[in-house]
Amino acid sequence: MVEYVEKQIKKVDVWKLKTYVCKVKPMDIFTGKNIIVLNKSEAQEHDIYSGYRTEMRHDGRSAVVIVDVSDEIVEPGEVGVFRDLASWHKLKKGDTVEIVHMDRPESIGYIKKKLDKEALRESEIKTIVKEIMQDKLSEIETSAWITGAYINGLSDEEIIALAHATVESGEQLNLGKHPIVDKHCIGGVAGNRTTMVMVPIIAAAGLYMPKTSSRSITSASGTADTMEVLSNVTFSIEELRSIVLKAKGAIVWGGGMKLAPVDDRLIRIRHPLSLDPEGMLLASILGKKKSVGAESIIIDVPVGRGVKVPYVERGNELAKHFIRIGDKMNMKIEALITDGAEPVGNGVGPGLECVDVLEVLQGSGPDDLRHKSLLMAGKLLELSGKVDRGKGYAAAEGIVNSGKAMAKFMEIVELQGGNPKLKVSDIALGSYTHTVTSDAAGSIFHIDNKTMSKIARIAGAPRDKGAGVLIHRVRGDRVDVGDKVFTIFAESEAKLDFALKALKDLEPIEMRKMLLGSVK
């Protein structure tokens, strides 16, 4: 006979098995991430290891954190909390916090699915984005998703789902006005401050253009860095709304508000390895445009040596993809394949680029910047239905020549806290300069975008607004020995010296098969 014996089991609170208490040990280091340090031996007793994610609770607040471990930095019963995390959660030495085990994020399975070449559903992509924003995914896990997208690509449905999830990750600008237009350049061209010329033209024509722009990552200046020479660029979304409703245009830093914040996180992780999956690029750009309510958008696709898209054929494929995705997201898009083989404008660096912009708005300035800005503004006027096809360039040119674009630009500058009476001569440029001259006769064959940006950055740009490079010649120009080629500007003698030393190993300009750029 089999006898069944009922065993008495004591009920246990599962969370107590997964939780232990530590006292805060502040660590005066800023990490920019949610990281804590646990005593290694004690953490292992609780089955917690380096790289694990846990939840840290204190006084009704909680944060998802990544664990590091050490027997030297913290004692048993302590948790090392870095300055940024301690400040955010108002933690001080000796405060008691709970360290709580966390279940594996739902997104991990979806990331593995993408690595296995499977398509993700909209709900799965939204879960990944949500868990990134909740800090439930580590950078390693997020980078695995980016890698999956880079290797296996994203379908149009996945791109659209990611774009919508990107919008939903933050706030949205609701102007309650129409039509709203926008533009974007995929980047890589030094100078190229077309946005600062286009926005006042478009706004003066009566269209709404709430332009959110980026700061520099590897270039000598982003649009936001250049605009910052003239005015403030950091605003809340409500402040942006107020400016645009008054002036119909604005040029602000997108990172200063919570528009599509997940995209900023993804860009930060993609950047070190220069991973830029096409699907994520499209979702990033169009998601941000959707978040400001844009209905008609011009996409600038620079093509040429040294930029992101080296060949026209590849540029055409990317342009068609933008148009196709935009159509599915109810946005009218026109993509322009432009010459990106060399810098646009004379200046590379915030202050020098401002000089170019103001001169173009006054009716002069560099021909290439003027022409490209008028072309793109004209296409946007046509795309929005403001003017008939084929008449956009003339309409944009008329707005500049009449002085309306300059007046509108200064209105925007004033609303963003700048001086509306500022003149070109008021822009402070670095007082330490060196002009590079030609050491051979011939014609300019190539001016390298990356190298010019690198020289400007070594000289101090974009942090030093007056630093940069002023280019005196363009591709095809004839030069003789001793002719000026470019001038380096710096705000300190030391930084100018750094740039000159670096220049000896750089090749910013090619003249046929000979190199220019030797220091004279």
- List Cβ neighbours of 105 (8 Å cut-off, separation of 6 or more): 53, 131, 136, 137, 141
Q: CB of 23 within 8 A of CB of 94?
A: yes
Reply yes or no: is the peptide bond before residue 179 cis, omega within 30 of 0: yes
Give the end-to-end CA distance of the chain in Å, rounded to a whole number: 105
Q: Could you give the CA distance from residue 250 to residue 407 in angstroms, rounded to a whole number?
A: 14
Whole-number Å distance between alpha carbons of 303 and 285: 18
* 3-class secondary-structure state, position 433: strand
Q: Which of 276, 477, 483, 497 is catalytic?
A: 276
Q: Cα(163)–Cα(327) distance, rounded to whole angstroms?
A: 13
> Cβ neighbours of residue 322 under 8 Å, at least 6 residues apart?
282, 285, 286, 299, 301, 333, 335
> Residue 434 — φ and ψ, nearest 5°?
-150, 130
Q: Amino acid letter at 136?
A: K
Q: Which of 212, 238, 236, 235 is nearest to 224 (CA)?
A: 212
Strand order in the sheet with 296-303: 181-185, 296-303, 332-339
- Where does residue 481 rank: exposed (0-12), middle (13-18), buried (19+ CB within 10 A)? exposed
Tally the C-alpha atoms within 13 A of residue 368's C-alpha that lie toward its C-beta. 19
* Type and span of the H or E element at 303: strand 296-303
Give 494: exposed, middle or buried? Use CB within 10 Å, 0-12, 13-18, 19+.
exposed
In terms of phi and psi (left: phi > 0; alpha: psi -120 to 50; beta: otherwise), the region of 191 is left
**Alpha carbon distances (Å) from 359 to 197, 403, 414, 494:** 10, 12, 18, 30
d(CA 462, CA 353): 11
276 in catalytic set: yes
Residue 407 · residue 204 · CB < 8 Å: yes
8 A C-beta contact, residue 208 and residue 174? no
What totals of helices (H) and strands (E) does the chain contain, helices first? 19, 20
Closest to 457 in 3D by CA, of 212, 194, 222, 195: 222
Here the tokens at position 126 are 């939204």
Within 10 Å of residue 381's Cβ, how many Cβ atoms? 27
Active site residues: 276
